[in-house]
Amino acid sequence: MTGQTQRNIYLDKNFDRFVAQLSEWLAIPSISTLSENREDVRRAAEWVEKRLLEIGFAEPRIVPTAGHPLVYAEWHIDDRQPTLLLYGHYDVQPVDPLAEWLSPPFEPTVRDGNIYCRGACDDKGQVMIVLAALEAWVKTEGTLPVNVKILLEGEEEAGGDSIAEYVRKNPNLLKADAVLICDTHMVSPEQPSLVTGLRGILYTEITVTGAKTDLHSGSYGGVAPNPLHAICVLISRLKGEDGVIAIPELAANIPIPSATEKQFWLRDSLHIEAALHAEMGVEHCVGEKNYPALERIGLRPTLEVHGIKGGFTGEGAKTVIPAQATAKVSMRLPANLDPHTVFGWLEKAVSTDMPNGYRVRITNLHAGKGVAINPDNPFIRAAADALAAEYGVQPIFMREGGSIPIAALFAEVLRIPLVLMGFGLPDDTVHAPNEKFSLSQFRKGMKTVADYLARIRNSGI
Ligand SMILES: [Zn+2]
């Protein structure tokens, strides 16, 4: 019997206990953004610390921070083996709107082969996958195949930066050959995938000022500057109806995808565009029609208006011409672009495109760089092989339109390959009511990660 067969038998035999343990952890409402749940967040950290101890980690510890604590543990087995850093988070999103939950958000409930609870997929269920895989190794072989470091945070959903500070201060402690992040999803239960790109983000605020005070449209309409109208003109100059962003420096610096990736996007054999229509409840996608929808969502930059403030929006009619208007405008950016550089280009475009007769100010509210992963390294090849062995289908490489700030930080500070191998599914409704995690994905995930650890033994160093 091969080692992997033994580990799979162990995982199957203990599967119900893993579900029970996950349920115990899920029942702790570790909502990191709400101060009333502060103690719960800590309890969730202590719960996982105890679990690590039970698995056999010698000294798991809770690391206090200015915000919620980190949980750290390591197991060194052999200098000649690679070291894998495992990242995850034990905090969860708030639960509102509460009325839409079919079962209470912190009462883990199994229905139709899924476990429903806030945090089931994002990210407690996925952290449990990794812990079960480690346990299977320890219980069948008495040890782990590679050196392991585990770093779990409790502020991921709150945008906290305690982990960033910790990573920047402790590059030696966290030194590893690769980092595995189990916090993403795959295309479908039949089609495994690995994430190879995350877009960066630039979030700005644009303020336009006209007259020194609000004016009456009867007395001044026709001659008075109207910042609300001007901001609309500005935004439509920055991005037209065709979806093309008119920032010349940007246009010149957008990466060209590989022929294989372009083919995959054009063919869309998994019908992802149709799934997007269904998810959004629309009949067609908007945007740059010269690029396939998957390229628009995965690689192309975006420019989105999130809100415009100014003038009168109350009930009834008021004939004011506002003196000022503000818009929140963000951009998603390909990973090769530094958002601070792009901010300079946007600033220039704003001053060029601004209609005459107004003062304009643009502020950079926050910026985060994207990540581009070259799949051609032993740690990602091993992940692809492990997924192919478990699912019976070769995984595809996918870019995700969103941003995972910690991934960019690991890439920048630790300079090691990132493996974004997640087992969520597109309909897990993370961050929304009725979050779930498929129990079949839970089981397959454990087996895949256990196999992955065997595959990276002796590799990459
Ligand atoms: Zn997450």
- % of the chain exceeding 90 in pLDDT: 83
Q: Is the pLDDT of residue 259 over 90?
A: no
Ligand 1 centroid to Cα of residue 244, in Å, is 31
Among 222-236, 392-406, 410-424, the least confident range? 392-406
**Six-digit token string for 284:** 């067609």
Residues in a beta bridge with 418: 179
Q: Which amino acid is at 2?
A: T
pLDDT classification of 250: cutoffs 50, 70, 90: very high
Rounded distance between C-alpha atoms, residue 350 and residue 47, angstroms: 50
**What is the structure's pLDDT at 296?**
93
pLDDT in tens, 180-195: 999 999 989 999 999 9
CATH 3.40.50.300, applies to 200-254+301-368: no
pLDDT digits (tens, 9 = 90+) for 36-48: 999 999 999 999 9
Say how many Å lie between the CA of residue 123 and the centre of ligand 1.
Answer: 5
Lowest-pLDDT range, 72-76, 106-110, 258-262, 441-445?
A: 258-262
Q: How many Å lie between the centroid of ligand 1 and the Cα of residue 420?
A: 12
For residue 245, the CA-to-ligand 1 centroid distance in Å is 30
Asked whether the predicted pLDDT for residue 61 surpasses 70, the reply is yes
Q: According to the model, what pLDDT value does residue 1 have? A: 80
Amino acid letter for position 380: I
Task: Check if CATH label 3.40.630.10 holds for domain 3-198+370-456.
Answer: yes
Confidence class of residue 105 from pLDDT cuts 50, 70 and 90?
Answer: very high
pLDDT, residue 460, reads 57
User: pLDDT by residue (tens digit) across 21-31?
Assistant: 999 999 999 99
Mean pLDDT over residues 54-82, rounded? Answer: 97
Two tokens, residue 124:
């407690």
Does position 158 have pLDDT exceeding 90, yes or no? no
Angstrom distance (rounded) from CA 148 to CA 176: 9
**89 CA to centre of ligand 1 in angstroms:** 7
pLDDT of residue 314: 94
Residue boundaries of the structural domains of the chain? 3-198+370-456, 200-254+301-368
Q: Whole-prediction pTM value?
A: 0.84
Whether pLDDT at 160 is above 90: no
pLDDT of residue 307: 94
Q: What one-letter code names the amino acid at 191?
A: Q
Averaged pLDDT for residues 235-241: 97
Can you tell me the mean pLDDT for 247-266? Answer: 90
Task: Work out the pLDDT band at 72, boundaries 50, 70, 90.
Answer: very high
Residue matched to tokens 């983000």 = 201
Task: Name the phi and psi angles at 355, rounded to 5.
Answer: -55, 155
Report d(CA 174, CA 414) in Å as an integer. Answer: 8
- Residue 256, pLDDT above cutoff 80: yes
Give the Å distance between the CA of 406 and the centre of ligand 1.
11
3-state secondary structure the chain: CCHHHHHHHHHHHCHHHHHHHHHHHHCCCCECCCHHHHHHHHHHHHHHHHHHHHHCCCCCEEECCCCCCEEEEEECCCCCCCEEEEEEECCECCCCCHHHCCCCCCCCEEECCEEECCCCCCCHHHHHHHHHHHHHHHHHHCCCCCEEEEEEECCHHHCCCHHHHHHHHCCCCCCCCEEEECCCECCCCCCCEEEEEECEEEEEEEEEECCCCCEEHHHHCCCCCCHHHHHHHHHHHHECCCCCECCHHHHCCCCCCCHHHHHHHHHCCCCHHHHHHHHHCCCCCCCCCCCCHHHHHHCCCCCEEEEEEECCCCCCCCCEECCEEEEEEEEEECCCCCHHHHHHHHHHHHHHHCCCCCEEEEEEEEEECCEECCCCCHHHHHHHHHHHHHHCCCCEEEEECCCCHHHHHHHHHHCCCEEECCCECCCCCCCCCCCEEEHHHHHHHHHHHHHHHHHHCCCCC
Give the number of other CB atoms < 10 A from CB of residue 236.
13
**Contact residues for 345 (Cβ-Cβ < 8 A; gap 6+):** 247, 249, 250
Among 229-238, 333-342, 390-399, the range with the most confident prediction by mean pLDDT is 229-238
How far does the centroid of ligand 1 lie from the alpha carbon of residue 92, in Å?
A: 8
Mean pLDDT of the region 342-364: 97
Closest listed residue to residue 426, CA positions, set 185, 265, 195, 113: 185
In angstroms, the CA 147 to CA 130 distance is 14
| Rounded mean pLDDT, 113-132 | 98
Instruction: Note whether 3-198+370-456 and 200-254+301-368 share their fold.
Output: no
- Calculate how far, in angstroms, residue 431's C-alpha sits from the geometric centre of ligand 1: 9
Higher local confidence (pLDDT), 367 or 449: 449
CA of 157 to the centre of ligand 1 (A): 7
Q: Cβ distance 122 to 437 under 8 Å? A: no
Give the mean model confidence (pLDDT) for residues 137-153. Answer: 98
Q: Render pLDDT for 427-439 as a digit per residue (tens, 0 to 9).
A: 899 889 999 999 9
Residue 461's pLDDT is 52
Q: How many CA atoms lie within 13 A of 178 on its CB side?
A: 27
CB 203 within 8 A of CB 367: yes
